[in-house]
Structures are given as structure tokens and as C-alpha cells.
Amino acid sequence: MERKELLGKLKAVNAKIAEIESAEPVVYATACKFIPKAGYVHELESKRDCAKALAIVKSNFSVETSAAEELGLSFDDIKEDTNYLGFKFDVWKSDIQKRVAELTQIETLEKLEVAKKTLMKHRSAEDIFNEDMDSIGDVLEGL
């Protein structure tokens, strides 16, 4: 990157940070349900924890399906009643995917903050002047 591109990149980084920080909070349908050996979906700390949680949920559904087959029932026979802790598989999967997306946003925000700090460190006097003038430009135009 060349120095003349710095101010534009800084503005882009600031815009992306603002976009992430202003995003609507995630709402989890399963927020009050604790997955044994994993925890609450909204408190999962890593993407690996999300994968483990989904594995636990999937195993409960597959065990139930397997048991139904042993009884001579098809999946269609129990499909309407199949749930884990009161929620269908699709709801669990959706909530865990939301958490993965949220964790990705957190990682992206951390990287953007590092990029912003680096870009701020390398601004020239002209960049600072241009940035300051841009921030007061609307006030000056009215005079």
C-alpha cells in the first residue's frame, strides 16, 4: 500500500468498525437452554465449542431416530415430536450458526482495531489535516 492510499483505507476501516458495532444484537431462540457439556449457545467461546455443541445436539437427534427404527417406526412417524430440550434440530443449528457468525464478527473487529491502530500511527501531517478538514467541512460550508 502506498502512503497516498492510507487515508482512504483508514476511512474504510472506520466505516467497517462502525458497521459491526452498530449491528443488531443477536437473538437466540434457545437462549434459556443449557446443552450439557457445552453450555448456553450465546456463551460458547470459540468456533470449536460451537462444533462440539452441534455434535451433542445432533447425537441426541440421531439416537432418537435410531431408537425409533428399532421400534419399527420411520423418521416420518416421529418427525413432528422430535426435539431436544424443546427445540427442533433446525432451531438449534440456526442458533449455533448465529453464534459462529457472532464470533467471526468479534474476530474481524479485533483485526480491524489492529489495522486502525497501525494506520493511525503512519498518518502524515497532510493526512491529519485532510481528516480534520473533512470532519468540520459541513460547518465551514454554512459560513
Position 6: which residue type?
A: L
Tell me how far apart the 2 most distant CA atoms of the chain are, in Å: 83
**In the chain, where the domains are located:** 28-112
pTM: 0.81
Model pLDDT, residue 31: 94
Model pLDDT, residue 86: 92
What is the full per-residue pLDDT of the chain (143 aa) written as tens digits? 777 788 889 999 999 999 999 999 999 999 999 999 999 999 999 999 999 999 999 999 888 888 888 888 887 778 777 889 999 999 999 999 999 999 999 999 999 999 999 999 988 888 888 888 888 877 777 77
Q: Measuring CA to CA, which residue among 63, 41, 68 is closest to residue 53?
A: 41
Q: Angle at Cα 100 formed by Cα 27 and Cα 13, nearest 5°? A: 95
Yes or no: say if 36 and 60 are a contact pair by the CB < 8 Å rule.
Answer: no
Model pLDDT, residue 129: 85
Using CA atoms, how far residue 96 sits from 18, 50, 84, 113, in Å, is 25, 6, 14, 26
